[in-house]
């Protein structure tokens, strides 16, 4: 089975799996190839449609691993739907346009310390946080 096809993220994913003691099966490779080819955000269902022979649980499990490795990020849409984006990046947030659905990364997070303090005031030890910003993108404001 061919690997990378020019996408370094596929290689990174597969080699980290290998290092982590996961078996690099053919279906894992297929999921990796399909995911890292995505230019836009995608859902688990989108990947399932591309790979009719791979089970949904396998697709989901692999995307979850990619998420843990920070190779993809998760976007929660205004209606609660979940989508993913290929992004080899550390922690960041998203600006989601409620009209056209476009998602952009909101880089730079200044909230962690403040949230840590607020959580601590209520006896909670902060582990992580997530924030999506919903609004209208520049083009949709003009429309
Ligand atoms: Zn992102
Ligand atoms: Zn828009
Ligand atoms: Zn943050």
Confidence (pLDDT) at 4:
43
Tell me, yes or no, whether 12 and 70 share the same domain.
Answer: yes
Rounded CA-CA distance 12/25 in Å is: 15
> In terms of domains, do 106 and 66 share one?
no
CA of 44 from ligand 2 middle (Å) equals: 23
Q: Which domain holds residue 135?
A: 90-143
Token pair 């989508």 is found at 83
Centroid of ligand 2 to alpha carbon of 137 (angstroms): 4
Question: The domain spanning residue 142 has which CATH number?
Answer: 3.30.1490.190
Judged by DSSP in three states, 77 sits in coil
pLDDT score at 20: 92
Q: How many domains does the chain have?
A: 2
CATH number, domain with residue 73: 1.10.10.10
Task: Provide the pLDDT for residue 3.
Answer: 46
Distance 80 CA to ligand 1 centre (A): 16
Print pLDDT tens along the chain (143 aa): 444 455 789 999 999 999 999 999 999 999 999 999 998 889 999 999 999 999 999 999 999 999 999 899 999 999 999 999 998 777 889 999 999 988 888 888 888 899 999 999 999 999 989 899 999 999 999 98
Spell out where the chain has E strands. Answer: 72-76, 82-86, 93-97, 103-106, 132-135
Q: How far apart are CA 4 and CA 116, in angstroms?
A: 40
What is the whole-number distance in angstroms between the Cα of residue 141 and the centre of ligand 2? 7
5, 14, 46, 58, 102 from 11: Cα distances, Å: 9, 5, 22, 19, 28
Distance 90 CA to ligand 2 centre (A): 25
Domain finish residue from 59, 88, 117: 88
Single residue among 43, 59, 88 that ends a domain in this structure: 88
The pLDDT value given to residue 110:
87
Tell me the HSE value of 15 on the side-chain side, using a 13 A CA sphere: 6
* pTM of the predicted protein model: 0.80
């Amino acid at each position: 089975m061919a690997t990378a096809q020019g996408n370094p993220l596929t290689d990174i994913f597969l080699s980290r799996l290998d290092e982590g003691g996961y078996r690099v099966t053919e279906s894992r490779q297929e999921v990796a190839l399909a995911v890292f080819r995505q230019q836009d955000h995608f859902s688990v269902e989108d990947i399932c449609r591309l790979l009719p022979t791979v089970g949904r649980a396998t697709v989901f499990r692999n995307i979850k691993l990619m998420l843990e490795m920070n190779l993809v990020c998760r976007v929660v849409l205004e209606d609660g739907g979940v989508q993913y984006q290929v992004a080899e990046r550390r922690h960041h947030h998203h600006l989601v346009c409620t009209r056209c659905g476009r998602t952009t990364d909101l880089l730079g997070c200044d909230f962690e310390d403040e949230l840590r303090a607020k959580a601590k005031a209520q006896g909670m030890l902060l582990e992580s946080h997530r924030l999506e910003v919903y609004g209208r993108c520049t083009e949709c404001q003009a429309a």
